[in-house]
Amino acid sequence: MARPVNILFPMADQLAPQFLPDYGHKVVRTPRLDEIASDSAIFDAHYTNSPMCVPARAGLLTGRLPSEVECFDSGCDYPFSTPTFAHYLRANGYATALAGKAHYIGADQLHGLEKRLTMDICPADNCWFGVWDDPDRQLPWFHNLKNVVTAGVAARSSQQDHDDDTAHAAVRWIYDRARSSDERPRSC
């Protein structure tokens, strides 16, 4: 019997395929993604079921419409009892881990995964809930274009630091798994 394959499931906010060289972009270079893609199954006709990140992730992870799991906006959680593909991978013997941003709202920061390698850069509480009775009101903590218009040169950002920590943690987890006696395939 063939050994199950390892699964790497990268998910990026705001990345359209036409900005990758494999889809014809002439300037952008992605050598690591190209290397991974050369030996991978590529899904090139995927459409999201929500324009907002949290409901889109909930739909993708559960295989259900976000409305079916009552995840309507980026301030909603969905029940920990709702199975995700991570639950199914674990049930089939996979070692599962999350590295990076997931923006899970609420107490369940795993949604079927057995390990989270880094903290999330997004808040996990309900502070992202909108004011539905006053939809035009901008909450004082919420970003607007002022931070873009008034931005200057920055040597680093919290997002860059988080990304660096995430990459290091993911590589370390894969390395440690390769050296361990646990023969389960990896899913990250």
Ordered by where they begin, the domains of the chain are 17-187 (3.40.720.10)
Q: What is the pTM of this model?
A: 0.70
Q: Predicted confidence band at 171 (pLDDT cuts at 50, 70, 90)?
A: confident
Catalytic hit among 53, 71, 76, 188: 53
Residue 25 annotated in active site: no
Query: Between 84 and 169, whose confidence is greater?
Result: 84
pLDDT for position 146: 65
């013997």: which residue's tokens? Answer: 93
Name the more confident of 40 and 153.
40
Res 125 pLDDT > 70: no
Which listed residue (25, 87, 103, 162) is catalytic? 103
Residue range 44-81, pLDDT digits in tens? 777 788 888 889 989 989 999 999 999 988 878 888 88
